[in-house]
Amino acid sequence: MKILYLLFAVFFLIFQATSGSADPIFADTAECRSQGKFCRAGTCPPTFGATGTCHGGMLHCCSK
């Protein structure tokens, strides 16, 4: 019985770790990250500027 519990726990951890993201991938986010930029809520850091949007316009795409 202990082995059955152990197997269940192992399978649960494996499927939980490999389930992937349930969030949809936004086109603007993919474009921003493919160019080596990053997304940020609010304003970009002082040495970076906003060059676009991420997450459907909810975040800023920041780059140097």
6-47 confidence digits (pLDDT tens): 888 877 777 765 545 556 688 899 899 888 899 999 899 999
Residue 52: name the closest of 41, 44, 64, 60 by CA: 60
Q: How is domain 26-63 classified at the architecture level of CATH?
A: Roll (3.10)
The confidence band for 60, taking pLDDT boundaries of 50, 70 and 90, is very high
Bridge partners, residue 6, by sequence: none
Domain layout of the chain by residue ranges:
26-63
The pLDDT value recorded for residue 47 is 92
Confidence (pTM): 0.58
The pLDDT value recorded for residue 40 is 92
Please give the structure tokens belonging to residue 27.
Answer: 């086109």
The pLDDT value recorded for residue 23 is 61
Give backbone dihedrals phi and psi of 7, rounded to 5 degrees, phi first. Answer: -65, -40
The pLDDT value recorded for residue 9 is 80
